[in-house]
Amino acid sequence: MSDTIYPDRARVDAHDKVRGVTRFAADVPLPRLAYAMTVPSRIVRGRLAAIDIDAAAALDGVLRVLTWRDFDGIKSAGYLMGGGFGFQSHQPMLSDQLVHRGEPIALVVAETLEIAIEAAALIQPRYEEEPFASLLDDARAETLDPQPAHNVGDAEAALAAAAFSVEAEYFSPAQFQNPMELIATVAEWRDGTLTLHEGTQNSGALKFGTAAALGLDPARVRVNSAYLGGGFGQKNSLQSQTVLAARAAILLGRPVKLVMPRAQLFHTASFRPASRHRIRLGANADGRIIAARYDADMQNSRADTFRASFSEITARLYAIENYTSSARLVRTDIQSPGYMRAPFEHPAAFAFESAVDELAYAAGRDPLAFRIANDAQTDPVTGGPFSSRFLAECLRDGAERFGWSRRDPAPGSMRAPDGTLIGWGVAVGAYKAAMAPAIARLRVRADGTTRIAVSGHEMGQGIRTAILAAVTEGLAIDPARVEIVIGDPDAAPQHVTAGSWGTASSVPVVRRAVQAMQVQFDELRNGRTVNGTIHQMLARWRRPYIEVETRLQAPGQPDAVFDRLQRGLPAAGGPEYKPFVSFSYIAHFVEVRVEPTTRRIRVPRVVSVVDCGRVVSPRTAESQVHGGVVWGIGAALREAGEIDPRFGGVLNNDLAEYIVPVNADIGAIDVAFINRPDPLLNDAGVKGLGEVSMVGVAAAIANAVYHATGRRVRQLPMRIDDLI
């Protein structure tokens, strides 16, 4: 492994993005483009008894109105977590059965977007409604049996013997990803080939899933997903709308654009489900955490099983020898929930790291020293080693940067001169270090250009910048003329980019391609001493190009994972590998200020120190952590989907009422990296960063609020009302 410290370099796509040159799916200009609009169901559950489309179809400029009767022979592409490709198993508009509010019941295609919207409003459905459940606590919800998660030692016996213990319940609400780029599909049908332009984290699933749904040969489905305006897990699979737009394009013989309006997205795409967390912790008289019991409930849809894995990280944060956890899924009549940035880790860390803070106070310990003293050296779950773990270093470095030693431990003891209550809180987070199989194709040409095609999706996190850093490390090529082709399954097989495995999957395989290129070039050189770039040599030797292909999977994975990769199926490995266990870690230090009369909570400064292995792209890595911390602040103080149990819909289904932080809500965010290469996971030393950055932020804020006010808030978001 090289010891390269990767240099700070600007985001490769920054210049284009600030000039508005970057082309997102909805921007693709095509001749004869038609515009589609969906009509959402106004009921939750039941049957579409009749649908009158006459007035809509008669409107000037309407090309066609599609209902379920236009989808004969089309089937669902299946659920991503159940062997299929879709965000849920239910594909709307295949029958008259309705299973969640907001699912499309008709698709209008028109010459302009305005006409499509006008026509959609003219459609008259008649429903036969059935009773439904929308909330975790609904009488009609079905709570499944608890599934055991982790079990080591004897938690009950150890809790009974504990000198100090805490027991509490925490709640995390339904949340919605709301990427700035709406889910948008431009479908083009030409000469028996379907081309989909769509910002997705999973262009492989789009290709194979759309082919399966429409009965097409996957070789005749192309996908272009060069850029996403944010994904956050919502775009990790085939959306229901892709099949609708594709069907319309095929029936009309014209390209069709469908941009799902934000209000509909709250009901037609995945989200973070509501969850409840019951935690009991025990410590001995020496301040060692000896027992944990963690039982969670999480909302699900009726049809699909989105498994909870809350304790995957919490079982590893500390050296707790007696740990038992379980999760119950609660079936409700809602679209299938799914992955939203740090899907389980954020709510789990909020609950668990709040409880650890409560335990530290119960035991009369400083919350920072308590955490460092309980750090795990080996994995408490498997007993095996961690590939690398610098969590205690994150805590120590962060405490130094934050000035933790100046903290007065008594709650309510720190005040600004104007009476504002000051609270300082700490919490840690972890996130699995995973890797997906990847194939890289690298071509260096005599004309001065280089092309790298690899699995990966650019959702704004900076994966192109990381890939470029890897391509240009140790290769004598022109870095200004490198074409990075990602999000295109025909250029290189595409695995879903999620789970924070993007860099750890793309960069190591690209480094291997670079090494293979060096070998090829050396062979070509054949002992001759040459000056200049590879391009210049190729030109001199009249070779138009050299191309190499390399592949890499997670440690210990069989070669069969490449077969899954080639078919658009998920095949990532981790965090448990045969000889070791791998996670990224973070420590957050937060200052809150609580206005004494209004109890308004502000977060003027955060210090976050990360162990994500080696940092490949310093600029975009720091930006990721800023984004994660901001999201953590939003999750702690702002974000919640308000679901009305009478109508089964999200009431605040727009950005005016689904509140996220704005610039005025964000103070200083100081980010530091341990930047020590992981020696085992891959030879780039990369673990993973995106999601860990928000894990623990909400707990650090809750812990700071407690320190400021003496009030322990156990549900998110924490609001003024909780402190009055």
Name the residue nearer to ligand MOS (CB basis): 499 or 508: 499
Tell me whether residue 296 or residue 498 sits nearer to ligand MOS (CB atom). Answer: 498
Q: x/- site string to ligand MOS, residues 184 to 203, per CB under 6 A? A: -----------------x--
Taking the C-alpha atoms of residue 260 and residue 384, their distance in angstroms, rounded to an integer, is 47
Among 11, 288, 316, 341, binds ligand MOS (CB under 6 A): 341
Residue nearest to ligand MOS (CB): 233
Does 204 help bind ligand MOS (rule: CB under 6 A)? no
Least distance to ligand MOS from the beta carbon of 199, Å? 13
DSSP structure class, residue 428: E
**Of the candidates 173, 493, 499, 613, which one interacts with ligand MOS according to CB under 6 A?**
499
Task: Compute the least distance from the CB of residue 335 to ligand MOS, in Å.
Answer: 16
Which is closer to ligand MOS, CB of 175 or CB of 264?
175
Q: Is 556 left (phi over 0), alpha (psi -120 to 50) or beta?
A: left
Sheet with 97-98, strands from edge to edge, namely 97-98, 46-52, 124-129
Q: What residues from 207 to 266 belong to the interface with ligand MOS (CB under 6 A)?
A: 231-233, 236
Is 562 a residue that touches ligand MOS (CB under 6 A)? no
498 forms part of the interface with ligand MOS (CB under 6 A): yes
Nearest to 632 by CA among 586, 600, 599, 573: 586
Catalytic residue chosen out of the listed positions 118, 181, 312, 691: 691
Q: In angstroms, rounded to a whole number, what is the distance separating the alpha carbons of residues 70 and 676?
A: 57
Min CB(658)–ligand MOS separation in Å = 18
Output 235 or 638, the one with its CB closest to ligand MOS: 235
Residue with Cβ nearer ligand MOS (279 or 340): 340
Shorter beta-carbon distance to ligand MOS: residue 208 or 431: 431
Residue 484's beta-bridge partner residues? 452
CA 153 → CA 353, 380, 382, distances in Å?
21, 10, 12
How far is the first Cα of the chain from the last one, in angstroms, to the nearest whole number?
56
Give the DSSP letter of residue 283: E
- Smallest distance from the beta carbon of 345 to ligand MOS, in angstroms? 10
The residues facing 190 across adjacent strands are: 193
Residue 344 sits in the site that holds ligand MOS (CB under 6 A): no
Q: Interacting stretch for ligand MOS, rule CB under 6 A, among 158-166, 339-347, 507-515, 523-531?
A: 339-347
Which of 170, 271, 339, 673 is in the footprint of ligand MOS by CB under 6 A? 339
**Which long-range CB contacts under 8 A does 21-27 form with residues at least 24 apart?**
22/227, 23/226, 23/227, 24/181, 24/184, 24/199, 24/227, 24/228, 24/229, 25/181, 25/184, 25/185, 25/186, 25/197, 25/198, 25/199, 25/224, 25/225, 26/181, 26/182, 26/184, 26/186, 26/257, 26/259
Neighbours of 32 (CB within 10 A): 9
- Rank residues 204 and 343 by Cβ distance to ligand MOS and give the closer one: 343
Residue choice 173, 230, 343, 634 for contact with ligand MOS (CB under 6 A): 343
Q: Is 511 in the site for ligand MOS (CB under 6 A)?
A: no
The DSSP letter of residue 694 is G
Q: How far apart are CA 286 and CA 280, in angstroms?
A: 18
Stretch that binds ligand MOS, among 38-46, 340-348, 460-468, 562-570 (CB under 6 A): 340-348
> Does position 463 bind ligand MOS by CB under 6 A?
no
Q: Which of 230, 233, 256, 261 is nearest to 245 (CA)?
A: 256
Given 340, 695, 705, 713, the residue binding ligand MOS (CB under 6 A): 340
Do residues 91 and 213 touch, judged by C-beta distance below 8 A? Answer: yes
Closest contact distance (angstroms) between CB of 446 and ligand MOS is: 39
Q: Is 575 in the site for ligand MOS (CB under 6 A)?
A: no
Q: Decide if 356 contacts 281 (C-beta within 8 A).
A: yes
Pairwise CA distance, residues 403 & 211, whole Å: 57
Nearest-angstrom CA–CA distance, 714 and 358:
11
691 is catalytic: yes
Asked if 331 interacts with ligand MOS (CB under 6 A), we say no
Q: Report the catalytic residues.
A: 691
Q: Which residues bind ligand MOS (CB under 6 A)?
A: 201, 231-233, 236, 339-341, 343, 498-499
